Amino acid sequence: MAPIAAPTYLTPEVYLELERKAITKNEYVNGETLAMAGASFAHNFITFDTAIHLNNQLMDTACQVASTGDLRVKVAQTESYFYPDIVVVCGEPRAEDNVFDTLLNPTLIVEMLSASTETYDRDEKFTHYRQIDSLQEYLLISQDKVQVLRYRRHEPEWIPTEFRTLADVVPLLSIQCELPLQHVYRRVKFDNDN
């Protein structure tokens, strides 16, 4: 989903109060809200298929998958709120308050990239996300080509690994799963496909 800036300064408390009543979704960074735009067919197919594949592997474990961008994640260190495309939490989920719609302890975050969100997801969001102590892996999945970039926490840095073919399988060590790219992209047609 593409963020569109709305130049209004809000406190985190006011943002949450308004967001919980809103019809549309807005992320919150540095006191400003960013309206989330709609998603393409490819974005939705990739998100759904990835979440289903992870959920099937995690069915009898202590990890849980949430997708469709409905679960907000808070970065406490920067007082920012985001809606990842997919989030996995292992162990007991910790919520910001008793409304239970804002997760504090994600283990894995997955974002789908598009031309309008790629820079935002790679740079600004990742700058915030990597400050979450519980986060172990960050996965960026392109919807325009076969390309997945996995960042894995290896203190004090994040190690990137890129996957570019349908034969590739992404090892997700933080949740002890594998993500075959043939499953991720099974319903997506690219411009160069016959």
Whole-angstrom distance, CA of residue 80 vs CA of residue 100: 17
Q: What pLDDT band is residue 180 in, cutting at 50, 70 and 90?
A: very high
The residue that leads in pLDDT, 27 or 69, is 27
Mean pLDDT of 1-12: 66
The residue that leads in pLDDT, 178 or 115, is 178
Break the chain into its structural domains and give their ranges: 39-184
CATH class of 39-184: alpha beta
- 182 φ, ψ (degrees, to nearest 5): -65, -30
Q: What is the DSSP string of 37-56?
A: PP--HHHHHHHHHHHHHHHH
Please give the pLDDT value at position 34. Answer: 87
Per the CB < 8 A criterion, the answer to whether 149 and 160 are in contact is: yes
Q: Report whether pLDDT(94) > 90.
A: yes
* DSSP summary character for residue 95: B
Torsion of CA 176, 180, 185, 191, to 10 degrees: 130
Per the CB < 8 A criterion, the answer to whether 125 and 135 are in contact is: no
Is 166 strand, coil or helix? coil
Q: Report whether pLDDT(49) > 90.
A: yes
Whole-angstrom distance, CA of residue 194 vs CA of residue 174: 37
Q: Report whether pLDDT(1) > 60.
A: no
Q: Report whether pLDDT(164) > 60.
A: yes
Please give the pLDDT value at position 182. Answer: 96
Per the CB < 8 A criterion, the answer to whether 56 and 48 are in contact is: no
Q: What pLDDT band is residue 40 in, cutting at 50, 70 and 90?
A: confident
Whole-angstrom distance, CA of residue 64 vs CA of residue 107: 10
Poorest-pLDDT segment among 4-18, 105-119, 148-162: 4-18
Mean pLDDT of 44-59: 96
Whole-angstrom distance, CA of residue 136 vs CA of residue 128: 14
